[in-house]
């Protein structure tokens, strides 16, 4: 029996922020994107994350993006969202204020940003202690942690992650180490706790799920999320050979994320019929896709449409 109070396993796309041609956030397009994720079978959405360009949105824009995401999916699709985007680890009260405003939106989990928990030269213990301090100050709120690579990349060790898991307050962890051995260590460390680890890396996804990962929360869900959903379903049915064939495609296709993401993802979504006016990004100085990149994305889109039903069958 499924526990309705438990965070869903599965596929959690990272919400992009569509803009109008004048650079304003296009909330109508954002609503369509959120609905598209759900229609593709995704079990959750990570709103207000790096793909959302959180450091380039105002606090009110971030909160409205979270609200739009939640208002355009059913309660069966779990929305998690990050909070303390503008405050520093040295300003605990400011971080707490931001996080509480996210919690007030009713998200399934408020996600702490790992590199905002302590300074770059601070120890892991400092980051863990600050996370637990936030948990104590927000009783009753489900929490998560995101190993966001900016403004610097803080990765948690298995030991540090276990301390968070053992508190019983953390239910979501987005792992960005992209290292299968490190993933296995972390998964062993949180086994039997409430904390669910979601891999951000496509190439290591199936291997990590074999060792206990709850699913994927990554950028490639902005291209063909239904294929990740297919892998997840095949794996949970024990059809590992079919799942491996899907994995082989996903690992190869994930190389496209290095081609001016998230501009190219917005272009892909345009091809998919979503009402995105522009693939402008506030987080990039270069907001025009080269013609060659457009050709590659279009060919990837056309090829996927041709073969999608045959992969993993």
State yes or no: pLDDT of 146 exceeds 60: yes
* pLDDT value at residue 306: 87
Per-residue confidence band for 307, with pLDDT thresholds at 50, 70 and 90:
confident
Over residues 13-70, the pLDDT tens digits come to: 999 999 999 999 999 999 999 999 999 999 999 999 999 999 999 999 999 999 999 9
| CATH number for the domain formed by residue range(s) 10-255 | 3.20.20.70
Name the pLDDT band for 313 (thresholds 50, 70, 90). Answer: low
Q: Given pLDDT bands bounded at 50, 70 and 90, which one contains residue 82? A: very high
- Provide long-range contacts, Cβ within 8 A and 24+ apart, for 67-74: 67/105, 68/27, 68/30, 68/31, 68/34, 69/15, 69/30, 69/34, 69/45, 70/105, 70/106, 70/107, 71/31, 72/31, 72/32, 72/34, 72/35, 72/38, 73/34, 73/35, 73/37, 73/38, 73/45, 74/38
Query: 23 versus 85: which is more confidently predicted?
Result: 23
Other CB atoms within 10 Å distance of the CB of residue 232: 24
Q: What is the pLDDT of residue 87?
A: 60
The more confidently predicted of residues 90 and 195 is 195
Domain ranges of the chain: 10-255
pLDDT confidence tier of residue 286, bands split at 50, 70 and 90: confident
What pLDDT was estimated at residue 5?
79
């Amino acid at each position: 029996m499924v526990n309705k109070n438990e965070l869903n396993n599965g596929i959690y796309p990272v919400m992009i922020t569509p803009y109008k041609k004048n650079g304003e956030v296009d909330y109508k397009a954002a609503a369509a994107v959120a609905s598209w994720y759900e229609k593709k079978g995704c079990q959750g959405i990570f709103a207000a994350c790096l793909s959302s360009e959180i450091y380039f949105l105002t606090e009110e824009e971030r909160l409205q993006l979270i609200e739009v995401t939640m208002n355009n999916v059913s309660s069966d699709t779990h929305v998690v969202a990050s909070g303390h985007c503008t405050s520093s680890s040295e300003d605990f009260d400011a971080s707490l204020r931001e996080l509480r405003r996210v919690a007030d939106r009713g998200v399934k989990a408020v996600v702490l940003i790992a590199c905002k928990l302590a300074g770059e030269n601070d120890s892991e213990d400092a980051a863990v202690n600050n996370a637990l301090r936030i948990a104590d100050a927000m009783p009753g709120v489900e929490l998560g942690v995101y190993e966001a690579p900016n403004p610097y990349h803080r990765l948690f060790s298995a030991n540090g992650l276990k301390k968070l898991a053992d508190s019983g307050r953390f239910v979501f962890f987005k792992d960005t180490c992209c290292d299968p051995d490190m993933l296995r260590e972390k998964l062993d460390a949180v086994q039997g706790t409430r904390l669910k680890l979601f891999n951000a890396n496509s190439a290591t996804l199936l291997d990590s799920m074999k060792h206990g990962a709850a699913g994927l929360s990554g950028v490639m869900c902005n291209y063909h999320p239904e294929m990740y959903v297919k892998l997840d379903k095949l794996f949970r049915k024990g059809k590992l050979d079919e799942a491996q064939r899907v994995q082989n495609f996903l690992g190869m296709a994930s190389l496209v994320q290095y081609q001016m993401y998230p501009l190219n993802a917005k272009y892909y979504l345009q091809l998919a019929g979503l009402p995105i006016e522009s693939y402008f990004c506030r987080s990039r100085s270069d907001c025009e896709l080269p013609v060659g990149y457009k050709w590659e994305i279009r060919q990837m889109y056309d090829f996927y449409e041709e073969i999608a039903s045959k992969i993993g069958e």
